[in-house]
Amino acid sequence: MKRVPVREQDPLVRAHNFEEVSYGYNQQEALAEASRCLNCKKPMCMTACPVSVKIPLFISKIVAGDIAAAADVIAQDSSLPAICGRVCPQETQCEGSCILGKKGEPIAIGRLERFVADWSREHSLNETCNENGVPERSGAMQHECVRKEALETEQNDAAQNNCIAVDRKKVAVVGSGPSGLACASDLAKLGYDVTIYESLHKAGGVLVYGIPEFRLPKEKVVAAELENVKKLGVKIITNVVVGKTVTMNWLRENYDAIFLGQGAGLPKFSGIPGEDLNGVSSANEFLTRNNLMGAFKPGAKTPIIAGARAVVIGGGNVAMDAARTALRLGADVTIVYRRSMAELPARAEQVHHAQEEGVKFMMLMAPVEVLGNEKGWVRALRCQKMVLGEPDESGRRKPVPVEGEFVDIETDTVISALGTSPNRLISLATPELEVSKRGTIVANEELATSIPGVYAGGDAVTGAATVILAMGAGRKAAASIHQYLQPATDGGHHNIGFAETGAANRP
């Protein structure tokens, strides 16, 4: 049985709007796709999932027609299923390990996860915590998913394992992106009093400022997922810049533990001449203006310049997001990348959608200079032609310049999508917090930092990565914080700290 295709907007139509590209599965399509699952005894898909979602189990619930139960299964391990179902690179994780993919097409696990999450939202299912901090389900379809017996078992097990934090110890989470939300959700379910501090005026981190509306709807999906986190008892305070508005010392005085999940929002540039010209921007700024500030909406007060012609430098998902956004703003868009199409690090789906919509690709081109006019605005991007040599440390063939071969690409704007690194605001204001040469926070295998009681994870530790990997780090940190906050026999904490175990990502 072949994989069930997903319905999408027509490319010629969607290239002119910011509505979601994919319509997702309906229940009939989801049932047909779920029925392909072999329900393996040793499900490699689960092993490949960074948050260990019980994939065969939730798929079996879809097959049985019990979507509410499928939602319950996913909720045990993922606090952001509607988001993960849309933006996670399943082809290199769960779906990449599906046994059906060895000789055919793997189960569309991401699309099924999205279906379950969207169904739950549309049927008003949500998870809250009772007065003891134990998760329980509520909503219009509650009669279909009440888990009274299961909850009683969970409560008894929790009491026996001392895993409900009855004294309501306080944990501060810095950053409301994927790692922070995952960490906060797990800690809230364990009964902790959790407060998230977000520097921007809206919560969500990269989910709201980095990923475009046509891939991840903000109000319909992200806002709804944030509300589910709040219903667990998590408090979110925006417009607080840790390191400026409040200090780490203040957080340490007022909270029993801290998780640093502020992400990696500092853009990188190539350092070529002309990057200071008008019309040059980072993809980070370009996307933030459009996604967070809604610059694409009629009457928006935030300006954004795509120009009649735009060139995007880079080949990752952020480059695709920037290119597809500029296209929707009316620009004729070209992506330049120094390797070939085969080496593009972006998801194949992203590249396919960009090509369908009309984005041009110029491969084996390395930018060497941004050229400007007499008024100080961009007029062209000069690139040197490249050929592929031997593989480098990443395993991809290294681009080698072709001597004397240059091309000038006329353009009105240049958008640099060459990656990001963590902002050093917190580390500069907190000298005792050890960081690597790359500016990432140094943490050990348990995600403990050099400061007792302070943990870190996600892009702030690894550098820019994926939503699901950040969530996995947040969940791991939550488990470490929970262990740290359990009373030891001497009345102190179970210290699983930095000094004892060493650091996993030292420079």
pLDDT, tens only, 71-101 = 999 999 999 999 999 999 999 999 999 999 9
| 160 is a domain residue | no
258/278 same-domain check: no
Give the pLDDT of residue 151. 35
Q: How many domains does the chain have?
A: 3
**Distance spanning both ends of the chain, measured CA to CA:** 49
Judging by DSSP bridges, how do beta strands 454-456 and 257-260 pair with one another? parallel
Query: In the chain, helix, strand, coil percent, each to 5?
Result: 35, 20, 45
pLDDT in tens, 116-161: 999 999 998 665 555 555 555 554 334 333 333 433 444 444 444 4
Distance CA 57, CA 55 (A): 5
| The domain boundary residue, chosen from 402, 418, 434 | 418
Give the pLDDT of residue 487. 81
Quickly state the pLDDT bin for 334 (edges 50, 70, 90). very high
302-316: average pLDDT:
97
Q: How far is CA 105 from the centre of its chain?
A: 25
**389-405 CB burial, b ≥16 within 10 A, e <16:** eeeeeeeebbbeeeeee
218/315 same-domain check: no
| 242 is a domain residue | yes
| 208 is a domain residue | yes
- The token pair at 433 is 């917090």
Q: Edge-to-edge strand order for the sheet containing 454-456?
A: 235-237, 193-197, 170-174, 257-260, 454-456
| 142 is a domain residue | no
404/427 same-domain check: no
pLDDT in tens, 207-262: 999 999 999 999 999 999 999 999 999 999 999 999 999 999 999 999 999 999 99
| 21 is a domain residue | yes
| The domain boundary residue, chosen from 366, 394, 418 | 418
> 134: which residues sit within 8 A by CB, 6+ positions away?
151, 154, 155, 158, 164, 189, 191
pLDDT over 90, % of the chain: 85
- The token pair at 308 is 């009649």
| 155 is a domain residue | no
219/316 same-domain check: no
248/334 same-domain check: no
Question: Nearest 5°: phi and psi at 329?
Answer: -85, 0
196/238 same-domain check: yes
| The domain boundary residue, chosen from 418, 440, 459 | 418
Domain that holds residue 299: 269-418
385/462 same-domain check: no
249/280 same-domain check: no
- If you average pLDDT over every residue of the chain, what do you get? 90
| 133 is a domain residue | no
278/244 same-domain check: no
- The DSSP H or E segment spanning 382 is strand 378-391
pLDDT in tens, 373-400: 999 999 999 999 999 999 888 788 899 9
Q: Tell me, what CATH number does 108's domain have?
A: 1.10.1060.10
- The token pair at 129 is 């915590």
Q: Tell me, what CATH number does 235's domain have?
A: 3.50.50.60
pLDDT over 70, % of the chain: 88
pLDDT in tens, 185-209: 999 999 999 999 999 999 999 999 9
331/240 same-domain check: no
351/287 same-domain check: yes
224/282 same-domain check: no
Closest CA to 471 of 107, 175, 44, 266: 175
Give the pLDDT of residue 144. 33
| 349 is a domain residue | yes
